[in-house]
Amino acid sequence: MSERPSAPHGGGAGDHRGAAAALALGVVAALAFMPAVPDHRSGPAASAATSPPGAGAADPTVTVLGDGSTSDTGPQPGQPTPVRLKPGEQPPQFVVFSFDAPTEDERHLFSRTRTSAKAGGAEVTFFLRGVDLLPASARWQYQPPQHEAGTAAVPFPTEGQVRATLQQLGRAWLDGDEIADGFIGQFCGPGGARDWSMTDWQSEISQGYSMVNFWKTGTGFTDLPPLPFDYQTELVGGRAPCLEGRTNLLPAEKDAGWRYDAGSPGDDQRWPARIDGIWNFPLQRIPDASGTHQVLSANQPPQAYLNAFDRVYHGTRAPLVIDTDLDPRHDTGPGLQAAGATMKELCHRDGVRCVSFRQLADWLDAQDPAVLDHLRALGPTTTTH
C-alpha cells in the first residue's frame, strides 16, 4: 500500500503532514500491495472516476478522497462548541462512553450500540481495530510488527462482516460519534504491544490509517460509497491492546499528531493531565457495585457506574470514563446493556454531558490551564466551590 497522507488534526498542518508521511515511508514494504495514488486530498474532479454512482462525486459539497474510500463532507454533525469556564463557575460533569472493537456481525453489536447511544443522548468513542476492515481473504496485506505477515491475535472477519462494519462506521460518524484507533493485530505480552519499539508502533499506526483510507483497494468493495469523513483529520487518539506499551507508543502518537491516549489503566477519578503534550485519558479506579472495593471502569454493572458518578458529580466533577468491550469473541451482552442503561440514567441529568474523548479534549484545550491545575489537585469527592 502506498499513500501520501495529509495532516492529522491538532497542530500545524505542515508539521503533521510531514509526520504522517514519515510513518508511511517507514512501512512502504508492508503496504506494497496498494497501488500508488495521488495526494488523497485530490478533490472531486480528480477522484470522480473512483467514486461509485451516488457516492457524492456530483455533490459540490463533497470531496471524494484517494481511491474513493473516504470523503470530506464538511464538519462533523452534532459537535458542541467548547466554552471556557467563567471565574468560579462549576465545570460540567463529563461522562465518556467508549467501545472497543466495534464490529458488525450477526449479533449486530455495533448497530445496537449506536442505537443505545442515540436513545441515551450520548456521543461516544468507537475504538476501531484495523483488522475489522480486512477480510480473512486479504489478511496477508497486514504486516504486524514482530509477527508473520497476515497474522493477528484476533480472527479476521468475513467479507460480509467488513461490509456491515463499514456501513455502521459512516452512520456512527454522522451521529456525532468519534472513530478512534484501537490498533490492528491486538498482540499482547511478549512480542506484542508490551515489547514494541516506537518504530513498531509507527508501522501499526500507519497501516491503520491505510486500512481506512484505502479500504476499497484493500477489500475490492468498489460498489460501496465512501465513508463520509476524512480519517486523516478525524483520527486524534487511540487505545492500545491490553493497555500495554505506552512508553514507546506515546512518542509515536505524538509524531502522528494525535491529541490523546486512552490506554492507561487504573488511575483515580481526577481531572486529566497531559503527558508530553498528549491528553492522558485512563481507565479509572471506581467503586464497585457494593461500594466497598475499587475496580476498573470497564464492563461493570450499572450500579458501579452510578457509584462512580455520584462520587464526582457531588465532588470535583472530574470526567467519568466508562468502557465496554464489543469483541465478538466475548460475552458482550451484559456490558452493552449496562452501558445503555447508564446512558439513559445519567446523560439527561442537569449539568451532565455525555461526550466522546475528542470532545472532552476539545473542551480541555479551551480552558485556562491554571483552572485545570486547580481542579486536578483536588480529590474526587472535594467540591469545586
- Per the listing, cell 462512553 goes with 97
The CATH code of the domain that includes 26 is 3.20.20.370
Comparing 1-15, 192-206, 234-248, the range with the smallest average pLDDT is: 1-15
Mean pLDDT score across all residues of the chain: 86
- Is residue 111 in a domain? yes
- Is residue 383 in a domain? no
CA distance to 74, 318, 373, 383, per residue, from 377 (Å): 39, 11, 6, 12
The gap between the terminal CA atoms of the chain, to the nearest Å, is: 55
Cell numbers standing for residue 63: 470531496
Q: Mean pLDDT, to the nearest integer, of 165-192?
A: 96
The structure's pTM equals 0.86
| DSSP, res 50 | G
Q: Look at the chain and report how many structural domains it folds into.
A: 1
- Is residue 212 in a domain? yes
Q: Indicate whether 58 pLDDT > 90.
A: no
C-alpha–C-alpha distance, residues 23 and 198, integer Å? 11
Q: Indicate whether 24 pLDDT > 80.
A: no
- Is residue 384 in a domain? no
Domain housing 33: 13-39+64-79+93-376
Cell numbers standing for residue 52: 461509485
Residues across the chain: 385
Strand, helix or coil for residue 346: helix
* pLDDT reported for residue 267: 81
* pLDDT reported for residue 380: 80
Beta-bridged to residue 64, according to DSSP, are 71
- Is residue 58 in a domain? no
Band (385; pLDDT cuts 50, 70, 90): low
| Contact present, 240 and 189 (Cβ < 8 Å) | no
Q: Indicate whether 179 pLDDT > 90.
A: yes
